[in-house]
Amino acid sequence: MSGYPVGRGHVIQAIRSALEPRDDVLAMWEGGAAAFDRVDEWSDIDLQVLCRDGRVEDVMEAARTAVETLSPLETAFRFPDPTRHGHSQALWSLMDASPFLIVDFVVMERGNDRDRFLQSEIHGRPVVHFDKQGDLDAEPLDAAEHAAKIRERIERHRALRRLLRPFVEKEVRRGNAAEAMAYYQAMALRPLVELLRMKHSPLRYNFHTRYVYYEFPEPVVRRLERLFYAADVSELEARCEAVLTWTEELLSELGDGPTESEIADLASREREIRASQGRV
C-alpha cells in the first residue's frame, strides 16, 4: 500500500542481505500469495529459511534484527515450539509499513524431515531468493497417499453428516444463538466446504475457505457465501437444511473419491500451470 516508507521489497531485501552471507543459512524462499503469483497490496510476506541444524535461534535473531533496521516492530510473536508443522515460526509487524505487511517467518533445520511445503501442486511455485546447495528441489506429491486421504475423508463425512446436525438444531431450539452458530460453522458448513474442495480443488482439499475465490466457479462461490450469513438464530435451521441438501449432492457426485491416477493427472496439470509462471 502507498503512504508507508517501508514496503515489501525493502523487507525481503533486508532479510536476504543479512542471511545469504551466513554459512549457517542454506536457502530462502517465499510461499503464500507469491507462490501463486497473486501478490497484491494486502498480501503478507511468507518467508521460509533453511538452516543448518542447531542454528535456528541465531538465524531467527539475525532476521529480526534485519527487519528492525528498517522500522521498529509494532508487534512480535514467536510461536511456542513445537509448532503444528514442526518448524520454528515468528510473526512481525512494522510500525513504518502497512499493517497488512506482516512478516510470517519460518526457520527449518536441514535435518528436520517434516514437510517443507514445496509440493508445487499444492503450495504453488516458491519464489527462491537463494539456494546454496540445491535443497529446494520440488517435493513430488504422493498421488496414492493423497487420493487415499480424500477417500477417507469422504467416508467420514458420509458417516457423520446426519449425526452432527442435531448439535445445531438443539441450540436453535434453546435459543442459544452463539452456540448454534458455532456448531453450524464447525459441524455443517466446514464439512461442506471440504467436500466442495474435493470436487473443485482436490489437491488442496483441506485448505477450507482459502483460495475459494480463485479455485471455485463463481456460481458456487456465490451459493456458498449465502450460507455463511444468518440474520438471527431462526434462520439457521433453513441454512442447515440447505447445507445438508448440498452435502448429499456432493457425496453422491464424489462417490468413493478420486483414484491415484486422477490425482496424478491433476497434479501434472497443476505443475504445468506453475511452471508457466516462469520462475526458477
| pLDDT digit string, tens, across residues 79-123 | 999 999 999 999 999 999 999 999 999 999 999 999 999 999 999
What residue ranges do the domains of the chain occupy? 8-131, 143-273
Tens of pLDDT, residues 122-167: 999 999 999 999 999 878 899 999 999 999 999 999 999 888 888 9
Has residue 173 got a pLDDT over 60?
yes
Nearest 10 degrees: Cα torsion 265, 267, 273, 277: -150
Phi, psi dihedral angles at 107 (to 5 degrees): -115, 125
pLDDT of residue 48: 98
Structure-model confidence comparison of residues 229 and 280, the more confident one: 229
| DSSP helix, strand, coil percent of the chain (3-state; round to 5) | 50, 15, 35
Q: In which band, very low, low, confident or very high, does the pLDDT at 243 lie, cut at 50, 70 and 90?
A: very high
Taking residues 227-246, report their average pLDDT: 90
Please give the span between the terminal C-alpha atoms of the chain, in angstroms, as a whole number: 27
pLDDT value at residue 280: 42
Mean pLDDT computed over 6-32: 98
Question: Per-residue pLDDT for 69 more than 90?
Answer: yes
Place 271 in a pLDDT band, splitting at 50, 70 and 90: confident
Share of the chain above pLDDT 70, in %: 98
How many angstroms separate the CA atoms of 144 and 160, rounded? Answer: 25
CA distance 189 to 168: 11
pLDDT beyond 80 at 278: no
- In CATH, which of 3.10.450.40, 3.30.460.10, 3.40.50.1860, 3.40.50.10710 is domain 8-131? 3.30.460.10
What letter would DSSP give residue 261?
Answer: H
